Every structure is written in structure tokens, then in C-alpha cells.
Chains A and B, each alone.
Chain A
């Protein structure tokens, strides 16, 4: 699947290297960072709206909570939703594209028509409605089962599933295109002649050849899902307080700048963290795509 020349092209690209390093740093900081900081930093404290200092490098917010701690724990949720949401979209998009491309004919035409229609519908708006419609039901369902963890993070769970459900369209198109070109190759014909089942051909022969393409578009889907999540949280319809994600921190920050007194650190630090991560993901994805598909 992976062309060694393509891997060498990625390794020679300084932008890809820098992006991967920065990304690794942000992920490690968000995942491991809060363990090394006292958890009292996330609780309301004495100093309100304290500007950045040695004690609070990113300053504090309205309730005296340490902004650095909030940005790191918020990053955890944003990255988690991005990664899991992208994984959901990967499963749906790959399956859809595989089946459509392999079946061909009328099935293919109908399945791709559905994708076209979904492209032209404002999908995020449905998510807005769906989250608020399903959240209470999921909480009731989870508490009925006695799953305390799901009651607390029901919104995260719904966000992951619903965002995955709307971000699979591009993946489906790309996978289908690849399947169409692979289908006419001789090893598929050979597998058919040997009497392989359809499932066998799909998963044994086609899927392994698609891994490269799928991984590249996964790195481009993660930032898209992170942006969607922060879009909802920014509007106050995604992650709810006391939990925070980069989107809801940005909303707080945007509310804290005004002509009288602007608490710029509440806006600038979450914005910087999110920008750096999104830029690194997009640059990495772009470098991978260019390396594996120089003509595309």
C-alpha cells in the first residue's frame, strides 16, 4: 500500500516534520499536562481576572480558575471529539464508498446521488437540532442502565456520533473513486475467478489498497470535526459548563473583550492553542496528500 518513495517525500518535507512535532507536543501537553498541575487550579479561586503572571501563566478567568489548566483540559475534550468523530466518519464513509464503488450501476448512482444531496443541505444545522433533541433521552437511558460516566458526558458522546455522521461525505467520494480504479485491475478479476465471496474481495483485496488514502483523509477530517465541535460549543449548544472545550473557552474569551476593559488573555491563549493544532493538522494532511498523490 505505502509507496516507499512517497514516505521519503514526506520525510524530506520540513513543513510535515514541524507540524508533526508541534502536534505531538500539543497532544502530550493536553493529555499529560493536567496530571502534573494541582487540580485545585480548575476550581473557582480567589483571584478574578488576574493577568498572566508566574503563578498563572495564562491568567485567570471570571471565577478565578487558572486559564492554563482550562485550556489543557479543554484541549483534551476537543481532541477527543475530533479523533473519535473522525473515526466514526471513517467507518461510515469507507463502507459507503466501498459498497457504492464495488456494486456499481444503479446502486452506485443512487448512493452517490444521496451524497450529492447531503452536500447541498446545511448539515451542521441538523446537528444543532439533534443534539438538543437527543441529549435528555440519552441521559435518561444511561441513568436507567446505571452508567454514571455516560450521564456526565452524554453531550460528548452525542457530539462524537453526530459529527461523525455528517463528516463522511468527502471520504465516501474518495474511497469510491479509488475502488472504481482498482476494480478493473487484474488481481480483482483473479479473485473473482477463484470464487472469492464479495465480502472477501471487499475486505481482503480492496480495503488494504485503500489504507493510504483513508489515512490521509483522516488527518484532514480530524480538524474539520474539531472545528464543527467548537462551532457548536461557541454558540453554547455543544459542550456545557463546567466542562469546557476550546470552542466554549473561545466563546468566554470573545465575551470578555469590550471597549472598557479587555481581558485579552482569555481570548488569545485558547485561540492560539486551537490555531496551532488546526494549522499543524492541516499542514500535515496536505503534505501527506501531496506526497502520496503528486498529481491530485
Chain B
């Protein structure tokens, strides 16, 4: 256990190193500097700017300097939002993104497991067919179709919920649903498949033969085993939610990290983009690690 964990952490570090290097190279090799604007800046000032943001010197000195700063936890200054450090911007925006992502994550997992189990219990009835039809539809449709349509219906026509912004609980409902819908559908499909298979196994027949109620059989006995494929799907799910939140935050005008992400690309704001990529990757890789560990624990309990 300890050795495999160490090995995983080692490969995590290697992945992060590659990700950071590639991002840095892509940004520095792309044409156009961060200070290119409508007006040409005088040479002396540009030189000073480059020195302040540590963008002078050869590519190698820039790269090694950046890496050294990263190791100290310094993500450097944003070249667009002058005098604000990337650490500061992330500290302000990331909690919003994480809050939205967390709510969507819980909604997708709980809703998906419940819907999938329901469909499996009533296999081949109208409930099953209907739930799976809606699930396939929700997987097929991207959030930038679902989101604006929800705004149009619930925000602009019915006036039930605000169309955008961030502040109280009403603002969270529509974005969270938009973000969670495809993931919930994917989990429901996965859950249905594995539950149908589990319900045919011997231990379920034994439980039924003991005279247990059907709900106890399904939720106490079968669910523990049937949920395993869903657990292994949670890693990719987190990736979907993180990438998806960029779009959802744009649609609903939420002041999270997603908007800064897109703008940092358009503004050639290299260090802000680098910081975003690093934080996103760290979160994803760590989450995958946790999911793997949880899977091992769950599986062992079942075998033992």
C-alpha cells in the first residue's frame, strides 16, 4: 500500500512537470508578446517591463527561473491585471469555481445513482425506457445548449430564477443543474448497467430468499457492489466538471476562475494561464488518486 502510494505520487509529480513544461513552451513559442497593443511601446520601457515580469534572457533561463519560482509556490505576476499576482487572483476566484463544481458533483453522483438504480429495478418498463431516453439526451447535449435554454425558460419567460450572477442560493440552481446534467446522465446509465448485472447474482437471490424487502435487498446489499463502476468513473467526471465549469461560468456570468482562464489565453497572459493549468491539473490528478484509493478500500471490504 505504502509503496504503491509513493509510486503514484512519483508519477503525479512527473505528469505535473510535463504539463507545466508544455504549457510554458506553448505560451513562450507562440507569436506575439504580452505587451503588444494598439500602440508601440518605447524600447526602453518594454525592456523594463520584460525585466519586471522576468521575461528577458534566453528561453532556458526564463524556463528554469519559472520552475524555481514554482517550487517556492510563487505563481508570479499577471501581465494583464497589472500588479496582481496569480496567487491572489486564484485565491479570489477558485472558491467560487469549487463551490459550483462541488454542488454539481454531489448532484450528479447522488441523482445519477438514484436514477440508475430506479431504472434497473423497473427494467423494461416505461420508467426505465423514459429515464434512459432522457439520460442519452442529456449526455448528447452540451452545456451551452442546456444553459441558455434554461435561462430563456426559467429566467426570462417564467421569472422564477435569476439569469446570472453570484451571491445567494438562487444563483446556484441553474448553473449547477446545467453543469451536472450530462454527468448525472452518464452515471445513471453506468449505474443501471451494473445494477442489472448485480441483481442477477447469487447473493441477491439469497437475500431475497431470506424474505428481505426488495428495497433492503437493492439499497443495502446490491448497491454496495453495483456502485463500483461509478466510483471509478468519478475521476473522469471531475475532469468533465472542471472543463465544463469554464463554459457554465461564462454563460451565467459567474466570477469564477473560468472567465480568467479564457481571458488569459486571449490576452497572452502567460503566467496567469500557467497558474490556472497547474491548479486544474493538480486538482484532477489528486482527485484521481483519491478515487483510486477509495476504490481499493471499497473493493477490499467486499472481498473480506
By a CB distance below 8 angstroms, the chain B residues around A237 are 262, 265-266
Q: In this assembly, does A236 line the interface, its C-beta being within 8 Å of a C-beta of chain B?
A: yes
Interface-facing stretch out of B18-26, B204-212, B219-227:
B18-26
- Which residue of B148, B261, B277 is within 8 Å of A254 (Cβ)? B148
Q: Which of A126-169 contact B (CB under 8 A)?
A: 126, 128-130, 132-134, 136-137
Considering the complex, give the chain A residue whose CB is closest to the CB of B16.
A121
A279 pairs with B247, CB closer than 8 A: no
Say what secondary structure dominates the interface of chain B: helix
In whole angstroms, what is the CA distance A119 to B165 when docked? 32
In whole angstroms, what is the CA distance A133 to B235 when docked? 29
A125 pairs with B277, CB closer than 8 A: yes
Q: Which of A245-277 contact B (CB under 8 A)?
A: 247, 250-251, 253-254, 257-259, 262, 264, 267-268, 271, 274-275
Q: In this assembly, does A17 line the interface, its C-beta being within 8 Å of a C-beta of chain B?
A: no
Q: In this assembly, does B239 line the interface, its C-beta being within 8 Å of a C-beta of chain A?
A: yes
By a CB distance below 8 angstroms, the chain A residues around B152 are 257, 262, 264, 267-268
B265 pairs with A132, CB closer than 8 A: yes
In whole angstroms, what is the CA distance A236 to B265 when docked? 11
Q: Which of B22, B239, B285 has the most CB of A within 10 A?
A: B239
Interface-facing stretch out of B29-37, B41-49, B105-113:
B29-37
Considering the complex, give the chain A residue whose CB is closest to the CB of B141.
A275
B144 pairs with A230, CB closer than 8 A: yes
User: Measured between C-beta atoms, what is the minimum distance from B268 to chain A in Å?
Assistant: 8
By a CB distance below 8 angstroms, the chain B residues around A124 are 243
By a CB distance below 8 angstroms, the chain A residues around B27 are 129, 133
Q: In this assembly, does A108 line the interface, its C-beta being within 8 Å of a C-beta of chain B?
A: no
Are A253 and B142 CB-contacts (below 8 A) given A122-B242, A126-B22, A237-B265? no
Say what secondary structure dominates the interface of chain A: helix
**Range of interface residues on A (Cβ < 8 Å):** 35 or more
Q: In this assembly, does B176 line the interface, its C-beta being within 8 Å of a C-beta of chain A?
A: no
Q: Which of A220-261 contact B (CB under 8 A)?
A: 223, 227, 230-231, 234-237, 247, 250-251, 253-254, 257-259
B23 pairs with A129, CB closer than 8 A: yes
Q: In this assembly, does B250 line the interface, its C-beta being within 8 Å of a C-beta of chain A?
A: yes
Are A235 and B11 CB-contacts (below 8 A) given A133-B27, A282-B139? no
User: Could you list 15 A-B pairs, sorted by A, with CB under 8 Å?
Assistant: A117-B11, A119-B239, A122-B242, A231-B247, A234-B144, A235-B262, A236-B262, A236-B266, A253-B148, A254-B147, A254-B251, A257-B156, A259-B163, A262-B156, A267-B148
Q: Which 6 A-B pairs have the closest CB atoms?
A: A133-B30, A254-B148, A282-B140, A278-B140, A133-B26, A120-B288
* 11 other A-B residue contacts (CB within 8 Å) besides A122-B277, A129-B23: A119-B235, A120-B284, A121-B281, A125-B261, A125-B277, A126-B22, A130-B26, A231-B144, A257-B156, A268-B152, A279-B141
Q: Which residues of B contact A (CB under 8 A)?
A: 11, 15, 19, 22-23, 26-27, 29-32, 136-137, 139-142, 144-145, 147-149, 151-152, 155-156, 163, 235-236, 239, 242-243, 246-247, 250-251, 261-262, 265-266, 273, 277, 280-281, 284-285, 288
